[in-house]
């Protein structure tokens, strides 16, 4: 397998579903160039027209924001409420291992005047699923991905709230499969089921888990969503998406707490702070695809001109693939694995196409450059 990295950012062709042109540039960077041609004032008008259409006249909730308490979803919720006069209901599916920083940031933001539905699923079931998916797929968050996708739409259907605002269309922003010209504007529920959930949670029934246990992860029927006339937009369609600018914005509006030190596996301290299991998730990306959190973060900042490519490359060489030792014992306890079992599973998921063994260690067959 020939490994190439984007000539503009650092994204490799090992990223699932990313596309490269003959110019050696990934489709995320091509998408960035297309965004530079957009009249964003027109997009703001379009957003205001949507808000005018759905804004409640009876003091009810008029939109839902799937909300983690991080910089991106908090920025969206703030702007909808204070800039556009909406009454958003924030909906949160609990992290697997909620971090102290994440808990405090959620508390600080809610104090600005927001309502929040916080769903904490059956921990026994969640732990069993996390262990199962780590062993089977090298990803302890498969069920969590299903939960964060299903819960906001379930709440929308139950409360008859017809408008949902998600953050960004990741396949467009970061490189992936884009189905049509509206993919980055309107959330395609069938695409979510196929790409983000991947299979039916009812298939996860086991001797220890029954169908009732899996209800938090089951997506509403598409027929019900259509019947309820639920529409979900990506906020990034209406405002040029920039994760660093979101951080600067929300930092100015609330007491947003960063990690005291950089996050394990990367150079930054303000993104994806709410789950202690996240460093393992990104470490396993490195094991399976040859790139980790530092490359992910650097590529995003390079595209938006917050970081030069050479600077990002140095960060990648310094931190990508760093072992997730922070709160590692808590992660092992959650997964009910010994360190020996953990290491065995890591090696099981190591991609032989990109790794080679040298003595008792492994090294990548390619160099990010």
Give the per-residue pLDDT at 195: 64
* Full-model pTM: 0.95
For helices 278-289 and 293-303, give the axis angle rounded to 10 degrees: 90
CA-based nearest residue to 28, from 153, 216, 238, 168? 168
State whether residue 361 is helix, strand or coil: strand
Within this chain, do residues 228 and 311 fall inside the same structural domain, yes or no?
no
State whether residue 362 is helix, strand or coil: strand
Within this chain, do residues 44 and 138 fall inside the same structural domain, yes or no?
yes
Give the per-residue pLDDT at 2: 87
On whether residue 257 sits in a domain, the answer given is no
On whether residue 77 sits in a domain, the answer given is yes
- Where residue 138 falls (left for φ over 0; alpha for ψ -120 to 50; beta otherwise) is left
Within this chain, do residues 198 and 54 fall inside the same structural domain, yes or no?
yes
Can you give the pLDDT of all 369 residues of the chain as single tens digits?
789 999 999 999 999 999 999 999 999 999 999 999 999 999 999 999 999 999 999 989 999 999 999 999 999 999 999 999 999 999 999 999 999 999 999 999 999 999 999 999 999 999 999 999 999 999 999 999 999 999 999 999 999 999 999 999 999 999 998 878 889 999 999 878 776 566 889 899 999 999 999 999 999 999 999 999 999 999 999 999 999 999 999 999 999 999 999 999 999 999 999 999 999 999 999 999 999 999 999 999 999 999 999 999 999 999 999 999 989 999 999 999 999 999 999 999 999 999 998 888 899 999 888
CA-based nearest residue to 301, from 1, 3, 24, 10? 10
Listed as own residue / partner, the contacts of 25-32 with beta carbons closer than 8 Å and 24 or more positions apart are 26/175, 27/175, 27/176, 27/178, 28/172, 28/173, 28/174, 28/175, 28/299, 28/303, 29/303, 31/172, 31/173, 31/184, 32/303, 32/304
Contacts of 27 (CB under 8 A, 6+ apart): 18, 19, 20, 21, 175, 176, 178
Last residue within a domain, chosen from 194, 220, 237: 237
Which CATH number goes with the domain that contains 216? 3.40.50
- Where residue 339 falls (left for φ over 0; alpha for ψ -120 to 50; beta otherwise) is alpha
Structure tokens at 232: 């979900």
Last residue within a domain, chosen from 237, 270, 293: 237
CA angle, residues 124, 117, 158, in degrees to nearest 5: 95
Q: Which domain holds residue 333?
A: 27-33+262-364
On whether residue 103 sits in a domain, the answer given is yes
- Where residue 59 falls (left for φ over 0; alpha for ψ -120 to 50; beta otherwise) is left
């Amino acid at each position: 397998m020939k490994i190439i990295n984007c000539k503009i950012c650092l994204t490799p062709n090992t990223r699932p579903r990313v596309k490269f042109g003959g110019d050696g540039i990934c489709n995320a960077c091509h998408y960035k160039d297309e965004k530079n041609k957009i009249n964003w004032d027109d997009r703001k008008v379009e957003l205001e027209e949507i808000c005018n259409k759905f804004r409640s006249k009876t003091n009810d909730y008029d939109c839902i924001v799937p909300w983690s308490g991080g910089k991106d979803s908090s920025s969206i919720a703030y702007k909808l409420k204070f800039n556009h006069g909406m009454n958003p209901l924030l909906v949160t599916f609990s992290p697997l291992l909620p971090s102290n920083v994440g808990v405090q940031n959620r508390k600080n933001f809610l104090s600005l005047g927001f309502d929040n539905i916080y769903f904490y699923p059956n921990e026994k079931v969640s732990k069993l699923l996390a262990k199962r998916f780590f062993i089977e797929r090298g990803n302890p968050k498969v069920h969590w991905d299903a939960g964060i996708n299903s819960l906001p739409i379930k709440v929308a259907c139950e409360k008859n709230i017809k408008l949902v605002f998600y953050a960004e269309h990741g396949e467009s922003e970061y490189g992936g499969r884009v189905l049509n010209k509206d993919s980055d504007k309107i959330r395609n529920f069938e695409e979510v089921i196929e790409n983000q959930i991947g299979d039916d949670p009812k298939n996860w029934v086991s001797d220890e888990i029954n169908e009732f246990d899996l209800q938090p992860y089951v997506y509403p029927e598409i027929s019900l969503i259509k019947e309820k006339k639920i529409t979900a937009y990506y906020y990034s369609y209406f405002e040029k998406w920039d994760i660093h600018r979101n951080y600067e914005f929300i930092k100015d509006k609330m007491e947003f707490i960063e990690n005291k030190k950089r996050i394990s596996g990367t150079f930054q301290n303000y993104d994806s702070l709410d789950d202690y299991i996240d460093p393992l998730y990104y470490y396993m990306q490195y094991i399976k695809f040859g790139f980790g959190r530092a490359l992910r973060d650097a590529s995003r900042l390079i595209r938006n001109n917050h970081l030069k490519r050479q600077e990002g490359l140095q960060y990648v060489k310094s931190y990508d693939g760093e072992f997730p030792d922070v709160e590692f014992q808590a992660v092992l306890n959650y997964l009910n694995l010994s360190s020996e079992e953990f290491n065995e599973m890591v090696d099981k998921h190591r991609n032989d196409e990109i790794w080679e063994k040298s003595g008792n260690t492994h090294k990548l067959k390619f160099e990010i450059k």
